Structure 1
Amino acid sequence: NRSLSPLRRHSWDKREKDKEGKEKDKKTVNGHVFTPVSSNHATQCSQCNKGFNGKDAFHCTYCNASVHKGCRDSLAVCAKVKMKVQLPRSYSSQFAVPDSSLFPTVTMRNKRECETSSSCHSHPVFDEMPIKGLRYLSQSTDSLNRTNQVTESMESLTDEGCVVDSGTEMMDGQLMGEFEAEAKELEADSWSLGVDQQHLQQLDKELVKRQDVIYELMQTEMHHVRTLRIMSEVYSKGLQKEVQLEQQMLEKLFPVLDDLLELHTQHLLRLLERKKESQLEGRVFEGGFIISRIGDILGSQFSGSNGESMKRVYGRFCSRHNEAVNFHKDLLNKDKRFKAFIKKKMSSSIVRRLGIPECILLVTQRITKYPVLIQRLLQHTKDYFDLTEAIRLVKEVIAAVDSKVNEHEKRRRLKEFHGRMDNKSIMMMKNGQIFAREDLLRRRLIHDGALQLKNTQGRLKEVHALLLSDVFVFLQEKDQKYVFAMLDQRSTVISLQKLIVREVANEERGLFLITAGIEKPEMMEVLASSKDERNTWMQLIQEDEDEGIPSETEDDKRQLETKAKEMRELLRQKDTEIMSLLEEKVRLFRGMWEGVSPGEEACRQVQPFFRSPCSLEPPGGASIMKDALQEVETLQTLVNGSLGGAMASVQEGGGGGAGPVCLPRRAETFGGFDSHQMHSSKSGDRDESEDMAGDLRRTESDSVLKKVCIPAAVVVQQDSFIEDQRQALSERSSSCTSLSRPSSRPSSLIEQEKQRSLEKQRQELASLQRQQAAHAEEKRRREKEWEHREKQLAEREAQVHAQEEEILKQQKDLEEEKQELQNKKEEYQKDLERLRDAQRKLERDREYHAESISQRIAFQALPSLSGARVLRLPFFLEPHTSRL
């Protein structure tokens, strides 16, 4: 038996190869199983309703549909695939011969079929891919007799995740049917290929190119929506139902997927609606349509609320691209159910071999395709303004998305450094502030990279630099953790406030960091990896300094607004208390004046209570009140300067008066605010220097307010004493004229009251005089300070004038020297020209003498003629020789 097993296996493989060769001609598309047939057996195509005329015809064995070879892809989903059929569970029913074609199951071939289906991963994403339909069980007797072999094949397919559930297949078939219905709108590869060629030749070339680009825009948008629907309907909902993934994990794998699908679905509907409008307006012909305007739709997609949504959604999706891909890898390695689900879906026809990483990558790349398409539209369009605005809006959205991606990446990097920092590592800054590990997350990362620090001995130390929003931090790695770098007992956490950056003269990679604005400025030399890297660090540091460090955050603004509201409410409460006290004082005065005559009462009603009347001499505290009002104005300037915009909003919100000078309040008003401010400062995180400055400002304001309130109280008490005296005089006069009226109280009590009031008035007068003396001394001291400052300014001005005169004198001397040098240069040029002329004349004389000498030598060297005597030429025929 063992010797016959190879022959039996060979015969079995041969039969299987013959069956596969017979089924090669069949092609499964949209659930149809097509078999090539002769065109004589079919009358017309089920898709285009045209005759075959000798062309290749294909017949579906499920629904008996006959179509052309080119019409197979556009044919609707096979009706038999849509029916919900449950697979038999028992092995006996599983391998029973079906009564009709209404019970599709999986054909058990061998593992090579499953491997063949899995080899399709290498196909391009957008290529046309064959759709895997359900196959029948083989009805041959060989397959029925080999139950054990088929059982083993079934188990192997189940392990590989290749068995497709009928319910899932039905849902995928329905979704595929929807995709095919949408694809009928844009089934041609391009606009020009779907138009009648005779009519196409009559159209303008620019129009044809424009319509091709618009068609490509609509077609790619449809493909993008299809990818999003695959992510939502197939993967997201399938993982939620079959793998029972939590919503938080799905959001991490597919961030803001619903918002993306909603945005692009609405955009695709607007594009298709514009196509229908063009068809209704008559701009349609056989096989095509013409869209005249598209820029308004593109502009609305990337502007207004849609534009903000695009920035927000794509910013979040693209910034979490790497996290989603890494999370997908982790799930594949750790979760077996997730791995089986992915394998099952990858064999489905609806997915088209699009895995989750490929879908995420396609979505992130989609937003970068819009500028290319719109730029091509601009080359062949008359709708120039709308498209120019649309491409500007698209680039603005892309820039915003890129900025959000960079910010997310920097936040991730900063958290990574925070996680690797040693918990016990701290550093004392130059201003005395402690910088710890937790302070990293309170800043914003601008840039990071490897640098080298040079110590006083000239040695280099490798560090990793972090440029944050307000500090420059140097870290070094120790035991696989980061700690603050140590450099000659100097702080390696440098504040960017008043930081000076300079290049190193003899080192193109180096730069100096100079900390100014402190008692002992320090300089640190830093080396980068290259000159370009050095320039990048310098530019980023200068830009970070220009932003205004530290920057005011939204939390600080809200805290200031809350404090302003509380202070305004507290001021209103104190004003109400003051008004109630004044009204009570008015009632007391009215009680004291009840026995006055009608004439005097009329005079009293005209006279005001809380200031001295015009007929009487003003009290002695008037001058003090005038000086006090000046002090109040100074206090108001100090408070406005310290609180900034918060006090400005308080003055605007109060609405009490329109004058530039505020009325003085009581010390209790600001005292209540001080107590509240100190209480709120305990709960918040504030610097020690800011608290000390606030305490100094509050102490100064309290002292000035006390100076103001004391004279105000004296004036009010003087008015009250005058009114009391008038009451006593009126009572005395009435007792003298009318003896019948008894005295209200004994004269001894009146005298005692007068003595006490006079003594009190003397004390107040003495205190007023002391205050006047103090104010006069303060005034003299300030005048001396101003005189000293004016003197210094005059001296500086004199020095400046002297320096200007010296500079003018030096400029005049320089001009004279320049003129003298110019004259010498001209004389030198003239002498040089004469020398050149003499040299040229000498050269000519030398050449002439040399020529004459050569002629004489030539005459002397002539040979004698055959013994004849050489005749001597006469002297007038001899060559002329001149003396040297």
Structure 2
Amino acid sequence: DAVDASLLSDLSADLLGLEVESWSLAVSPEFCKQHDRRTVKRQDVIYGLFYVLITSAGTDQYILCLSHVELIQTELHHIQTLTVMSEVFRRGMVEELQLDWDCVARIFPCLDSLLLFHRNFFGALQERRQAGTQPNNPQNYFINQIGDVLLQQFSDENAETMKEVYGEFCSHHMEAVNVFKELLQQNKKLQNFVKQQSNNSLVRRRGLPEFILLVTQRITKYPLLLERMLQYTQEGCQEHFDLSCSLAQIRDIITAVDLTVDKYEKCQELQEVLARLENKSTAKLKNGKVFRKQDLHSKHRDLQHKGLVYWKTATGRLKGSDQKPPVIPLQKLIVREVANEERGMFLISASAVGPEMYEVHTTSKDERNSWMRHIRQAVESCPEEEEEEDKCAETEEARRTAEARALKIAKFQEALLGHDQQICNTLEEKLQLYAELTDLTLSSPEPVAHRHLLVPPDSDSEIPPQATSLLTAALREAENLMNILQSRDGLSGQSQSSPVGGPVGCSYNSHGSSIQESPSEPDYLSTLSMSSTSLGSDSELTGMDSTLWSSAGELRRADSKGTLFKVAESVQSLTQLLYSLQDSCHEVQKFLLQEGEKPQLRTLASLQMNQEQEKQRSADKKKEDVDKKILEKKKEEMDDEVQKLHVKLKQEQQRWDRECVAREKQQSEHESLLEEREQRCLLEAERLRCEREQLESQLLEYQLNVDRLREGQRSVELEKERVEAQQRVLQSWRHNRQSSLPVTIPLDEYKVRKEARR
């Protein structure tokens, strides 16, 4: 709480004079009215470079926010974000949770450099703001020129610093988030700490991944801010020139940061590719060189592009069966399109040793074009063949040196093992002699079960896992024997058997037989003492040995015959023998471990095989880590995608609701129009019905008239036929009258008939 209060007071001091949303509200209204609208807008944009905030109702805490369509974050907001990450999260992880500093540094890469850089920038902005303060009213200030400050910030050494720190921070963005999430899942204290800090007024329920994301996005906000400042700056002046240069510089910085991030991601992808390759994978080129997996680790090689392609052979099958090397040198490589195949391309290696042509197919035309573009760029930027051979020669020389060193180590190991075997054989012979001498002098009722060393140097097996327990048991047995000898008040005719503290056969004293006095016992003990003295000269005494020597001195004073002293010396010789064997094995193991090899490797072939197995395990572990990171990244991408889809769905739903309302309104209007039209149609139908009835009545009347006309026509035709008949009769009569007597025909009747015909 004290740290948070101090931090809050420091941030509140920085907020002094920046409590409102814009410059026009920060200064007095009279001072604001003295400037035109364009100048006020420009000052508002410059003010946005400092800070924009909203005061929370009823509290004294400040809630930071974004301005100008939530795109422009303020410099002070960014400083507060970095400060919270440093003083709240990082300090708590190191001091309260006692987490490893290397692990914490992976979560907060170059945080101190970022904080120092932006504090210096904000200090320069504050100085320019103080320089523009009006003398009559400290509240009013006017910043006439700020392009020089921005140009200084985004050029020269500052630009290189931004490229370096933002490049490193943005490159390790996903790694930092994944490390934090992994720690959060494994560490219960960290979960409680994060939950506790979520209630902190400075954190405001935001998680550490959100803070890291804000830092990575900060550099992309500067171009938007500078573009808006240029809109309200008069062209042709020095200020406009400085702002234009600053905009170009910050865009170059962003491009450099993107390149750094892309290079780091490609390095990670290269590690993923290497993890999928077997350690023994090789490819023999046409010039006789062998390309190994280790050659991809060379610092001279960079991953340019990665994707899935299909290698089509001469037989038409999409797999390699014509024994062509799968590694294609970039020197003198030609790329051509396949005729009548939009997804295929030819890779022609025009090498002097032997040209080769590969037909490669992709999944789409765009992907084919992308591959061709990347390959041509790689061919153009690839060094000459001589330079490549020099680099390969250096790599080959380093590999040969490492192999020669490993071979020498293996030879030294074999020589040491041979000498150890000779020493062990000699010691076993001595143990056999000691056992036989014990049988002769002490008349043991049971023969010695084991007469071999505790740790035999078996070249075909690993160090026995029970060697330590056997040595400890033998030492404990020697201590027990020494304690028994010290506790005895005097020698009896028959010695008690020593307690067995370890397994049978740990030493030649632990077979359970009793040591009896005999006339030849002093000679045997003297012989044993001389042997132990010669053996003890080759090894150092430990604390236990010193105790045995002091105890032996007391026994020498207590026993005039020196029997117990010689027995103590024999126990010491046993102890020194065991220590000597252990030290010998330990030295061999220590030497091999210092050379980075395992003790059980005896030959160069087994040494190399173990190295490959170790590399394979390391590669598998890296692969698991990479897969875990990929899964985390995919999960975050899916979460982001789901969030975007949710927002898009919400927007679509709102748009659909608006369209439904508009369509309902349009439908109601259309229905009213249809009703009006229906009324008009009904009226028109009624009118047409009346007209139809009228027409039908007229048609009926017309048909009646037609029938009457037809009847009249038939009567006229009949009358006409009768008249024609009468005319024929008349003509025939006239003809007959002329031939006979004249006949008088009344004309009045003829005229009447003629009028009737008309």
TM-score range, shorter chain: 0.3 to 0.5
TM-score between both structures, scaled by the size of structure 2: 0.47
Report which of the two structures shows the higher radius of gyration computed on alpha carbons: 2
Higher relative contact order (CA 8 A, sep 6+): 2
Please give the TM-score of this superposition, normalised by the length of structure 1. Answer: 0.40
